[in-house]
Chain A
Amino acid sequence: MPGDEKAPVKLSLPLEFQQDIFKELREDDELVLLARGLGLLRIVTNLLHSYDAAGNNLILLVGADERENVWIGEALAEHAAVSVAPKARGLSLVNTDLMSVGTREKMYAQGGIFSITSRILIVDFLSGLLNPETVTGVVVLHAERVVATSLEAFILRIYRQKNKAGFLKAFSDSPEPFTTGFSPLTNMMKNLFLQKPSLYPRFHVSVAKSLEGRKKAEVIELEVPMTDAMRDIQNAVLECVEVSISELRKSNTGIEMEDWTLDSALHKNFDTMIRRQLDPVWHRTTFKTRQVVRDLTLLRTILHALLTYDAVDFNKYLDTVLAASQPPPGSTKQNQSPWLFLDAADTIFTTAKRRVYTGKVSNADLANNPNSVPDSLEPVLEELPKWNQLAEILQEIEQDAYLNPTPQDTSTGAILIMCGDQGTCRQLREYLQIMYVKPEGENDEDGAESEPSAQVMMRRKLRNYLSWKGDFTKVSSALFSENQKAINSSTENRVQSGKANKPPPNKRRRVRGGGAAGSGSTRSDTGAVRTPGDRDAHIASLMAELQPTEIEAMQKTEISTDPLDDMDSYYTLFDMDSLVVIHPYDGDLDEHILEETKPRYVVMYEPDAAFIRRIEVYRSSHTDRTVKVFFMYYGGSVEEQRYLSAVRREKDAFTRLIRERGNMALTLNNDANLDPQESFLRTINTRIAGGGRLAATTQPPRVVVDVREFRSSLPSLLHGRSIVVVPCMLTVGDYVLTPQICIERKSIRDLIGSFTNGRLYNQVEAMMEHYKSPMLLIEFDQNKSFTLEPFSDLSAPSTTAGLAVAPDLQSKLVMLTLAFPRLKIIWSSSPYQTAEIFSELKKQAEEPDPLKAVQIGLDPSMQGDEMRSFNQVTQDMLRALPGANEKIVTTLTLEVESLMELANMEEKELCKLIGTDVGRRIHRFFNRSVYEDVAVPTL
């Protein structure tokens, strides 16, 4: 194996630039910024292994996510086996609260490489379970997430305060976050306590030399045109996006929105971008704005679905979207999403339907005889153009393989098809299986030459769709009985009645009578709004037409729970030479796929910049293998734009970083930088830096903090103000400052949320019971506007009745203070400010007792600290059950294992547990079938 000869262990870094990085890293502490797809994890594992093989160490891996842990764990084990290192211990995971304190302590004492969830690591550091001085070194993944107030920065600060000798290396493969803000790289380096950034873009000399010097991978680019219908839909969606954006502009004057254009809408995450821009003022935005932002996310999903889902699935998805966008019963028209009123929305829905089936029923026919069933419905079943292209490529590959039967290399001849997600995988697998099967009856037309087609598959899908549609109509009517009429009618109808801004029903008749000529819908005598396409009878006739032919019936349908769907098991079962492997892109794990399948042909069904680099790396690493790559994209589509802009943005980011590195002052001297306390205080307030220190005389000030609060930045800032942070599992309150003062911290978003679900009321109630001075801390974000005033006009006189129905934040606060007169409110404009207020409040006060704080509010019957680490999400889901209150939630948490068990419980059991009334309601909640369309009494 080619490798670094001088290193004591065997490495698997065949390329020159990889070896360069490795050598640099062994010598120096630095931040490595590598372009995506160049094998960052491979370098990390080799580095970890080189330490692992030496033995006798304690290395912490910070910031790795679940999949990376698996990757690194496997790779380390493999390395250890290859280089026969007796001292190597591999990777140990500490990633859940499930591991008890004792176990963790024992593990740390043994040493080795640990990947630890940040929240657990910080608690272990602070509680002394893990002494930072014993740590040999820290490796940080995803360094782009280490911003000043992050947990990771807090971890590194503690580590560097106590341990100046250990090594510290940081990695990142997304350069973009490093380029926002003022001298971002310098700041990041400060947070990381590192001096040297090392940048490896794709255009770096040694990278380019490694990848281009030898034989290049052969790439064939194929631009597939979209069908007209697809283009129409895409344009219509973009129009909706444009209107939504201008809607945002209109309702949020005074916010910087120049760059909210359609161009940026083509960008991958334009909805998150807009959300981020609005974030500082989010709590002041109106309901409408929030709705539009939600709509944008939905529209983006639709854009994506258009390119990946087949026509039937796409139409089905739109059906669900429509049903979900129905306003709740009794609400006004303002609650409708604005884009649904557009002509473009109409285009989306009708075109999507026309891609599946057409109904040529004229209005006159229906008006004359509304109950007749015209038989002119026809399935259309448009196929995705990429399918045909894929079939052609496969044919070409087959010919190619036939012409050169004995390859001169070690590739296996397998064909690897890479696509965006599991869903697309499934779709392609199904397509490839039956693309040469014809439904009977149509053999005479195009059966002669065996053109691949998806007809069988599409017909099967349409059958499923139609039977689903029947159920679905019932579901929506059962769920939204008030809107039954609207939902029964077709999409066009809803859009059109929407466009008319829903005049009152009596007026509507007249409006319709006058101008309904052009519309595709009509009104039958019974008054129900109907359209040809969706009538039960029509569906039945369509169904009849689609009756499976014999050949179709022979094809087995894809069984969704096929255990072989797990790709890993394929490798051992089949001969690689004749295999077509379909796999979704999966970040760094794709390297494994390439290594294991050793494909001679790769088809990229969707563009992915990182994967192209991966192929380059793979190709250059194995000189004896040839790879031929086919690369497909829809011309003029969002997909193409997105790919291009991703490549461009990465390049821009690197260019800027290189420029900044050139200007960076590298005179930072070690000692100054290593006193994080100092630098931290400076960021808070220069004036009190000296004074704050002096105040800490005999006993350092202490604050007891709930462990769940470590997700916020406040504990880190408190620590920065040289307050001792004691992590504890608190039942009452978030922070205990003195024996009397207990604080519940709420960010604005939390505040709104916990008012809505009533949790704040209970929390304050508990604080009132146990502490003399309960306080509610309302914390604004550093960059958020420090005001609660909504953008809407306050001066409009609001009636008492109106307020009681939909109270705003202000009214809720008033209610809270009226209900708890003893509760004090702290208003803080930022976490930095909070830290100052805390030390102000603690002046000349006693220190809190952690033991006592932990015991307060504990149910004596629920002893044992570990018992109380409940899972937050499931708790919230339990709270959402009908009739559930805190007591019932607690009972269920203690008595039942999981939601699954709860859902499958017998009614009797449940009633015994939580009482007949609620028990019955919860049982009914789980077991009620939404297909029944009986009107059900409200819960």
Chain B
Amino acid sequence: QALPSRSGPSSILVSPRQKGNPILNSVRSVAWEYSDIPADYVLGATTCALFLSLKYHRLHPEYIYNRIRDLKGQYQLRILLTMVDIENHEESLRELSKTSLVNNVTVMLAWSAQEAGRYLELFKTFEHAAPTSIRAQRSSTYSDSLVEFITVPRGINKTDAIGLVSNFGSVRTAVNAGPEEIGLIAGWGEKKVQRWCNAVREPFRIKK
């Protein structure tokens, strides 16, 4: 159901209905052009967006349902880019949550024209990007992973981590160290010592 890419992949297609929408002023890093499309914005071969201002939604609650219907189930990812421009947003947002489930749209909230424009840019920019940066990342250097490993228990900070390894020489000896020995390191109070020792000694799983 993808639209044929008439205008090349690099620009956002904008419906003429959106003429004058201030969010277009904030779309700067990506090119956009007007085009006759059922959605408000086409952000990629399978992605489109409808724009909704909550202020408008309160006056014309039926509008957005007509627009969704007009999409006729096209596009895989249908964004409902919602501008939160009223104070009492609770009821409208509750309704939209339900709508998103029923009509298969994904609600994205923006609080300013800038932010909304930014979302458009981002959807276009990441169109073909692999989601690597939100998948598990490993810290690349030894010192980073060292600090990351030691600072997992609550309250232990980077200074403590460095104090710990510099006193014991390696992570293994630090793991094996008794609470009394760790307590001698400057900065390691009882609570931290307790948390670290517990974390290291506690069984991973519950034994029956």
Contact = CB atoms under 8 A, between A and B. Distances in A.
Interface in A796-853: 797-800, 803-804, 807, 810-819, 821, 823-829, 833, 836-837, 840-841
Interface in B8-32: 26, 28-29
A317 interface: yes
A929 B171 CA distance: 8
B171 A926 contact: yes
A829 B89 contact: yes
B138 A870 contact: no
A92 B157 CA distance: 36
A829 B93 contact: yes
A900 B205 contact: no
Contacts of A220: none
Interface string A411-444: 0000000000111001000000000000000000
Nearest to B170: A929
Nearest to A775: B101
Given A560-B181, A837-B94, A903 B119 contact: no
Contacts of B146: 479, 925
Interface in B92-114: 93-95, 97-98, 100-101, 106-109, 111-112, 114
Contact of B187 (A317, A426, A841, A875): A317
Given A561-B178, A813-B108, A818-B127, A896 B204 contact: yes
Contacts of B127: 818
B170 A928 contact: yes
A617 interface: no
B163 interface: yes
B66 interface: no
Nearest to B204: A893
A871 interface: yes
B165 to A, nearest CB: 5
B56 interface: no
A681 to B, nearest CB: 16
Interface stretch (B34-42, B57-65, B76-84): B76-84
Interface in B182-204: 183-184, 186-187, 189-190, 199-204
B129 interface: yes
Contact of B159 (A309, A321, A794): A321
Given A305-B187, A877-B149, A900 B166 contact: no
Interface string A278-317: 0000000000000000100110010001000100011011
Contacts of A321: 159
A827 B93 contact: yes
Contacts of B111: 787-789
B8 to A, nearest CB: 17
B125 A930 contact: no
B26 A795 contact: yes
Contacts of B46: 821
Contacts of A814: 119, 122-123, 126
A900 B201 contact: yes
B152 A829 contact: no
A894 interface: yes
A225 interface: no
A885 interface: yes
Contacts of A468: 166-167
Query: How many of chain B's residues touch chain A, expressed as a range?
Result: 35 or more
B135 interface: yes
A840 B189 CA distance: 49
Q: Which size class do A's interface residues fall under?
A: 35 or more
Nearest to A787: B111
A277 interface: no
Given A815-B129, A818-B126, A870-B204, A797 B28 contact: yes
A408 interface: no
B172 interface: yes
B1 interface: no
Contacts of B169: 471, 929-931
B141 A938 contact: yes
Contacts of A894: 204-205
A562 B126 CA distance: 60
Contacts of A584: 190
A899 B200 CA distance: 5
A880 interface: yes
Cβ-closest 6 pairs across A and B: A758-B136, A317-B186, A821-B77, A479-B143, A324-B159, A903-B175
25 contacts: A320-B186, A325-B159, A760-B134, A787-B84, A788-B109, A789-B115, A800-B125, A804-B133, A810-B115, A817-B77, A818-B123, A819-B134, A841-B97, A841-B98, A867-B208, A874-B204, A877-B152, A882-B138, A894-B204, A903-B175, A928-B170, A930-B165, A930-B170, A931-B169, A938-B140
Interface of B: 26, 28-29, 46-47, 76-77, 79, 84, 89-90, 93-95, 97-98, 100-101, 106-109, 111-112, 114-115, 118-119, 122-123, 125-127, 129, 131, 133-146, 148-149, 152-154, 157-159, 161-163, 165-167, 169-172, 175-176, 178, 180-181, 183-184, 186-187, 189-190, 199-208
Interface of A: 97-98, 100, 294, 297-298, 301, 305, 309, 313-314, 316-317, 320-321, 323-325, 328-329, 421-423, 426, 468, 471-472, 475-476, 479-480, 560-562, 565, 584, 741, 755-762, 773, 775, 786-789, 794-795, 797-800, 803-804, 807, 810-819, 821, 823-829, 833, 836-837, 840-841, 864, 866-871, 873-883, 885-886, 892-894, 896-900, 903-904, 925-931, 936, 938-939
